[in-house]
Structure 1
Amino acid sequence: MPQPPLRVFLALALGIVGLVATLVLALVASRVASQRLEARIEAELADVAGMMAGRLDRGLFERWRDIVILAENDTIRDPAAPLARKRRVLWRAQETYPDYAIIGLVGVDGRIQATSTGALEGAEVGHREYFTNGRHSPFVGDVHDVVLLAAIDPHHDPADPPRVLDIAAPVRDDAGQLVGVVSGHLDWAWARAAEASLRETTGTPRDLAILVLARDGTVLLGPEGLRRTRLPAELPSVAGARDGRSGTETETWPDGRRYLTGFRPTRGYRDFPGLGWTVLVRQDAGTAFASVTDLRRQILLWGLVVATVAAGIGWFAAGLLARPLRRLAIAASALGRGEAVTVPGSAVREAQAISHALTAAARALGRQEEERRAADARQDLLIHELNHRVKNTLATVQSMARQTARSAASLADFTGSFEARLLAMSQTHNVLTANHWEGAGLSGILSAELAPYAGGRADRIRLEGPPVSLTPAVALPLGMAIHELATNAAKYGALSAETGQVAVEWSLEGRAGTGTLVLRWRESGGPVVVPPSRTGFGTRLIRASLERELAGEVALHYAEGGLSCRIAVPLAARAPTARTEAA
């Protein structure tokens, strides 16, 4: 039996090795790519759940704070104030925050004295949880049906009463005695609006369902078929959220279908403790991982194509290797017969092609290494800049704490003043963060600091001036100075009186970006101004922030009709440092 030629052996060996190697690589690549894609999809669902939970927590905190502030209103606290005035205050609060279905003032006897709409006045609510708890401290109750509001709305379906959250806070007079409870009933449509806003912001697909669960697992917000039902506590996502964890689970729901579910418990915001809700974001597992399945199919398909091509190349390569050997065998046979032959040279061209391929690969790897080093250098720079910015912020906080402690009369005085200054710094940071620390608009900083003092009146605060963009180095000290002026006005100046007004005007002198910002603060309509006998911490902070840090000028005038302050700040005083910090 004749032996098969060398080409057959080489072709079979190279073909089988190439086929197996290509298939193995295709399977490995498919697994790695699929795992990464699955992890990205799971992270996206978990992120959506986290964003929804954050919006709910922050939204409830803001409404909770609204009611607490409303309970401090002088008209609400005055038992002798006419009901018409109290009703007008409540109506303005609801007009400002239309998410409330109704806002009311309940007397100590448990009867509703006044409401924002005039409805339900005189109704007895002394047995309601929000009244009994709100008598002692601010209270937020979970979502529930409200029958009284449904009864006064003839167009509402009796089978589907409105749902609200009760928010209440005690009202105390100047002597600290309880005179009533302010209650706001937040329409549950607020949560649906938060969901719609999140979908619009993130581009969430419609087949992705967002659910909000009460503490007992009842679905408060979600698909129509699941609302008001209770999900089983043993569902992995529900159990994980109850344990305080966040993440994703691929699980079987009560309808028998498999879903990829992202979950996140609400944790409250700042001093608002939260209601123990759970946010679930689910999507059909087949739909969620459809791209993963397609990717695997594509990789395996192309792996088979490449493997087939590799087998063909192996056959061709075997021919290239066998041909020189066959020529050498013919030459050797001719030499054995004593014939004159020319010995063929070796196949250098193939080795040269391999050398070219390796050289190209080495160049590509070199470029990748340079890019990696550049990325590491950028990351080190960002870390150094972050460290620098954190140190500067901590130094500022330390200085504020030290100076506030020196001028504070008591621990409560220190706590209130220090928290207020931290909040002012935080508000300026928020404006800068919204602009990626590239700068902040002066009007935005002033609005953030002065809006809480406007009291819903457009004529209370007047801001006038051209658009001015401030670097972080200028924005932070100027924001602290404005906070000190506003705090002083609220305590002793124009904002401490009902008719008081504050006007802030600014202009630019010199070239834009490198000139001088001139800002004038004028108070009017307040109590008679008496020049202070000593320089307080607020004045020292203003001068230290603007004169020493920014090389600016500050002039305070204690006129009888109201305090006025002129501030001149060079916009380019700290431009190089500002650019570094903004980075």
Structure 2
Amino acid sequence: MLGFRPKLTLTQRLLALVAMAAVPALAGLVYLIIAIHQERKHEVRDLAFRSSQITSLEVERIVSGTNGILQALALASDVVGGDVTACSDYLDSLTSRLPQFRGFDVVALDGSMVCGSSDLPIRQEDVLSSSWFQDAKASGAFSVGVYGGAQPGEVGYLPLALPVLRAGHPTLILLAGIDLDWLAARLGDRISTEGGAVVIADRNGTILARQPEHDRYVGERMRDPFPSLIRLGTPGVIESRSGDGVGRIVGYQPPAANGIGLYVGTGISTKNAFDPIFASTWRSIAIAAIGVLAAAVIVWWLGNRLLRAPLLRILTTVESWRAGDETARTGIARDGSEISFLAAATDEYMDAVLADRAARRLAEDHRTLLLREMSHRIKNVLATVQAIANQTFRDGAGPDSLRAFGQRLSAMAATHDLLISSHWQSTDLRAAVEAAIGPFAGETEESRFRLNGPRVEITAKGAFSLSMALHELCTNAAKYGALSAPGGYVTIDWTLRESTDGRRFRLSWKEHGGPPSSEPTRIGFGTRLVRAVFTSEFDAHTALEFPQSGVSFDLDADADQILAKTR
């Protein structure tokens, strides 16, 4: 056997040599194709899962926003005060301004409708059998219902309910109906690839919104295997064929995972996700075949040097890439040969994959940061509004209280606009003061306010506190003080000084030319706010006095706490 010599012609021997030389290239190509397919499959599954998470967060934001609106309605006297006409008019007006809602209703505990929007009629028997009514009444808490309210030829809505509590017991149930066509339109922005799909369903498996073809699927039950996913406790990814016959990789968030009682799923078309990879595979195979044929021609004089070495280099690059070295490249420039084309295509693909990973990672990090920042800001603003509402309406919710509440919110909004322009870090103190006193400055050429102080930057918390205090002082001055008299005016001065305790910031308010002032016989919310708004923070001391010459207010605070570093 060792002395066996096959009877082959020179051409046959060269072809055999070319075939042997092509083995490493073919092995490297197969290895690369498998690695690329596995990597792409992992990326698509990860993208589907992340898309379902982001869509679920968007739906949770919509539900929590509705909860906030219902809580605000529970405090509105026009809604819960007993005037049916005023209530219905108020809810109709609110519905016209909020396109995401079909309407709002106020329901008694016996299931009868007290008042509501004209676009959201309900019947007592339907209310009594509904899950949203039973859950809200039994739990005394916000409830997310199931698909309902569908009339012949119409699309239903998603009911969300909140009980109005008195002494810890429900007295009324507030109902908000989410418009499912509006919800489907919002889902359209979440379809990231051609052939993708997004579905939201209730806990019974009824489709609330779907893109694409929302009108075809809304109100229908989901088909297998998707109903079984609703009963799961954790999110995940499956590969299945949807009701429209399209195979998709689907990331899903079951009701138990998102805490809002709704199923959220996002699908990526398998065909569209892998067609470019299959095309690249066939191109790579074609390139390899061309390389083998070219090698057969030049094997006499360049065989090993031009064929085997470049292929081994490609394999080494692929191995390094698989081992985690994302900087590995073949480094072979295009020179017109098939092998160099294969190497360059490999490098370009690796560059594209790396850039895509980096861009996706950056986008996800940025989106997460924005969601956390938005959640933080919304919670802070809602807490402040709730505190102001509790104090303003503590003694009742009459027209004066509503007007005062609106003015206080306007003062907050003006400062909010200033802080937005500076990325919510700080703002110019003079600009913050001018925004707070603007509604009281008047339209005459002679200013009612005289401001004096250095240019400094005040922190976001400091700006809000200062805005609320100046608003209350202006309101008092307009009613009883210097701003109520034709020639009256107010001086606002601020200074920075060094002391044994460090840098101190001082601001003073003094009224001139108004009627004689005196200590109020009753301390209202405005006076309490002016005295207390700074004392819990900033290491501050305040003094509010009422001499006959006019009201004065002095603030002495730690400059390093209330002021920001100059930008």
**TM class by shorter-chain length?**
0.5 to 0.7
Q: What residue is the counterpart of 1:134 in the other structure?
A: 136
Secondary structure of the residue aligned to 1:248 is strand
1:209 counterpart = 2:197: yes
Whole-angstrom CA distance in 2 between matches of 1:168 and 1:520: 48
The alignment partner of 1:543 has SS state of coil
Would the aligned equivalents of 1:91 and 1:117 in 2 still touch at CA under 8 Å? Answer: yes
User: How far off its partner does 1:195 sit?
Assistant: 0.8
Instruction: Spell out, residue by residue over 1:137-183, the C-alpha distance to the aligned partner (whole angstroms, 9 max, x if none).
Output: 13434343326xx5xxxxxxxx323312222222244x556442222
Gaps of 5+ in 1: 151-158, 321-352, 370-374, 380-385, 387-425, 435-443, 500-505, 511-516, 548-553, 579-583
1:378-527 aligned within 5 A: 430=373, 459-460=407-408, 461-462=410-411, 464=414, 470=422, 478-481=459-462
Query: Which residue number corresponds to residue 190 of structure 1?
Result: 182
The amino acid across from 2:136 in the alignment is: G
How many angstroms does 1:18 deviate by? 1.8
User: Residues of 1 paired with 2:205 and 2:467: CA distance?
Assistant: 46
Question: Per the alignment, do residues 541 and 288 of structure 1 end up closer, same or farther by CA in structure 2, a change over 3 Å counting?
Answer: same
The two structures, once aligned, show a CA RMSD in angstroms of: 5.9
Identify the structure with bigger relative contact order (alpha carbons < 8 Å, sequence gap 6+). 1
Residue 247 to residue 313, structure 1, CA distance change in 2 (3 Å): farther
SS of structure 2 residue aligned to 1:274: coil
The answer to whether the 8 Å contact 1:10/1:315 transfers is no
Residue aligning to 1:405: none
- Distance of 1:488 and 1:509 partners within structure 2: 18
1:160-309 correspondence runs (5 A): 160-173=153-166, 175=167, 178-199=170-191, 203-205=192-194, 207-222=195-210, 223=213, 224-233=215-224, 235=225, 239-240=228-229, 242-253=231-242, 258-266=247-255, 273-275=259-261, 277-309=262-294
User: Retained in 2: the 8 A contact 1:529–1:563?
Assistant: no
Structure 1: distance between partners of 2:159 and 2:52: 24
- Look at both structures and tell me which one has the larger radius of gyration over its CA atoms: 1
- Count of matched residue pairs: 427
Identity %: 13
> Deviations for 1:489-522, whole angstroms, at most 9, x for unmatched residues?
99x9999xxx9xxxxxx99999xxxxxx999999
Deviation at 1:568, TM superposition (A): 10
Counterpart for residue 418 of structure 1? none
Q: Which range moves more in the overlay, 32-41 or 109-118?
A: 109-118
Give the partner amino acid of 2:137.
R
Which of 55, 59, 65 is equivalent to 1:52? 55
**Aligned position for 2:116:** 115
Q: CA deviation at 1:96?
A: 4.6
Q: Is the 8 A contact 1:521 1:566 kept in 2?
A: no
- TM-score with structure 2 setting the length: 0.57
Aligned match for 2:72, one of 48, 51, 69 = 69
Counterparts of 2:93 and 2:493, CA distance in 1: 34
Distance in structure 2 (CA, Å) of the matches to 1:69 and 1:204 = 39
- Structure 1 pair 256–176 and aligned structure 2 pair: CA distance change class (3 A): closer
**Residues 327-366 of structure 1 aligned to structure 2 (within 5 Å):** none
Partner residue, 2:432: none
Q: 1:317 aligns with which of 288, 302, 308?
A: 302
* Distance in structure 1 (CA, Å) of the matches to 2:125 and 2:562: 63
Q: Residue type of the partner of 1:218?
A: T
- CA distance 1:141–1:121, change in 2 (3 Å): closer
Q: In structure 2, do the counterparts of structure 1 residues 556 and 92 end up closer, same or farther at CA, with 3 Å as the change threshold?
A: farther
Distance 1:18 1:104 in 2: 79
The offset of 1:472, in angstroms, is: 7.4
Preserved contact between residue 234 and residue 253 of structure 2 (Cα < 8 Å): yes
Gaps of 5+ in 2: 329-353, 359-364, 390-401, 428-456, 480-491, 497-504, 511-521
For residues 214 and 530 of structure 1, the distance between their equivalents in structure 2, rounded to whole angstroms, comes to 46
Distance 2:552 2:175 in 1: 37
SS of the counterpart of 2:162?
A: strand
1:543 alignment partner in structure 2: 538
Q: Distance in 2 between matches of 1:253 and 1:311?
A: 49
The verdict on how the C-alpha distance between 1:134 and 1:471 changes in structure 2, with shifts beyond 3 A counting, is closer
Counterpart secondary structure, 2:537: helix
1:132 Cα offset (Å): 4.0
Whichever residue aligns with residue 95 of structure 2, its letter is Q
* Residue number in structure 1 paired with 2:23: 20
Q: Per-residue deviation at 1:204?
A: 4.1
Q: Could you report, residue by residue, the CA deviation over 1:513-570 in whole angstroms, capped at 9, with x for unpaired residues?
A: xxxx999999xxx96469779996x6444214xx7xxxxxx86646798989798978
1:29 maps to amino acid: L
Does the aligned pair in 2 maintain the 1:53–1:265 contact within 8 Å? Answer: no
Mapped contact 2:295–2:303 kept (Cα < 8 A): no
In 1: Cα distance, 2:326 partner to 2:136 partner: 67
